[in-house]
Chain A
Amino acid sequence: MLVCDSLCDSSEQRSMTKKLLTDEELDRQLVLLTQAGLPLVTQPYHALAEQLGESPARIQQRFQHMLDTGRIRRIAAVPNHYKLGFTQNGMSVWQVPDEKVKALGQKIGALDFVSHCYHRPKHPPHWNYNLFAMVHGRDRAETDQQVEMISQMLGEDDLGHDVLFSTRILKKTGLRISQSAKKS
């Protein structure tokens, strides 16, 4: 039996006792360790490697793999729109003919002021919009202009639209998975 007193640091303890992690298990650990953010040290992958008792090369290889397969979009900074002066963040929603959603969505999604563009289901009669495009501006005039531009692009395919502005942030924690959750 391995005895490890408090003088052992945790990474040492882990490297002495750990069994080899599969790629899948390691990826999961990496998600847990970085979902709050990448360590802010000059060599973040070395820091993660040390924490997990793995080699920095393997850690980097796993991140690169997750990037290549699209499970990680990118390793990047997410600016806070509000704090940076983009106080008007409008969710513009559009009713367009179902058979044209794809073509129109691609067109609207290509606009540089649109951050997210999705086809989503209607819930008639409560909700008749099937195309969502988030627009961002420094003031309402700017977002009004953006919405007008989208409307003109859609032309007769704009069967109705609305713009929903957030009036309050009720929660913003980002996506989290919990430590206790299933180990697959």
Chain B
Amino acid sequence: MHHVDKAIINQLQDGIAVCDNPYLDIANQLGVSEDEILVRIQRMLDDGRLSRFGPMFHAERMGGGLTLAAMSIPENEFDAVVEKVNSFPEVAHNYERNHRLNMWFVLATETPEGVADTIKKIEFSTGYPVYNMPKQEEFYVGLRFTL
């Protein structure tokens, strides 16, 4: 990977300040133009090296509901259930995992009450129980991949 791309990833994980020209600092540090920074960020978003660039919202503090939930789905029904679960816009991420509980998804809802509501709907739609695992306490969120 190009060293400027690496530097952008390493630095932009920590966040940028709110100011008129937020990309100027990093551009100056790396001795390139702001435009080059922007083009490189866009390219990394396009090719998937970056999932996202922007404000990282804290769902609960924004007034919404958020939870992690898991289901145990028989192999032969898995794809059909995936389709049903994913059709809910509240399902933000969904992963297949190597466990008896083989489907794990994050629910993000407009209101805290929306979580229980959506879980009920998913259970009704799929016919399988949903194990709700809301966080009770957060010890750390963040990660630096140093490239």
Which of A66, A78, A109, A112 touches B52 (beta carbons < 8 Å)? A78
Per-residue 0/1 for A1-44: is the Cβ within 8 Å of any B Cβ (1 yes, 0 no)?
Answer: 00000000000000000000000000000010011111011111
Per-residue 0/1 for B109-147: is the Cβ within 8 Å of any A Cβ (1 yes, 0 no)?
Answer: 011000000000000000000011111111111111101
Which of B53, B56, B141 touches A40 (beta carbons < 8 Å)? B53
Chain A residues within 8 Å of B35, by CB:
42
Chain B residues within 8 Å of A41, by CB:
38
Chief secondary structure at chain B's binding surface: mixed
Chief secondary structure at chain A's binding surface: mixed
Asked if residues A46 and B98 are in contact (CB atoms below 8 Å), the reply is: no
A76-B56 contact, Cβ under 8 Å, with A60-B19, A109-B139, A164-B104: yes
How far apart are the CA atoms of A93 and B91 in the complex, in Å? 22
On chain B, the number of residues with a Cβ less than 8 Å from chain A's Cβ atoms is 79
Q: Select from chain B the residue with minimum beta-carbon distance to A44.
A: B22
Q: At the interface, yes or no: A101 with Cβ under 8 Å from chain B?
A: yes
Interface range for A: 35 or more
Q: Select from chain B the residue with minimum beta-carbon distance to A182.
A: B110
Supply 8 A–B pairs (Cβ within 8 Å), ascending by A.
Answer: A31-B55, A60-B18, A75-B56, A77-B9, A83-B48, A84-B145, A121-B133, A164-B104
How far apart are the CA atoms of A108 and B139 in the complex, in Å? 8
How far apart are the CA atoms of A66 and B135 in the complex, in Å? 22
- Looking at the assembled complex, report how far the CB atom of B47 sits from the nearest CB atom of chain A, in whole angstroms: 8
- Looking at the assembled complex, report how far the CB atom of B38 sits from the nearest CB atom of chain A, in whole angstroms: 5
How far apart are the CA atoms of A73 and B44 in the complex, in Å? 22
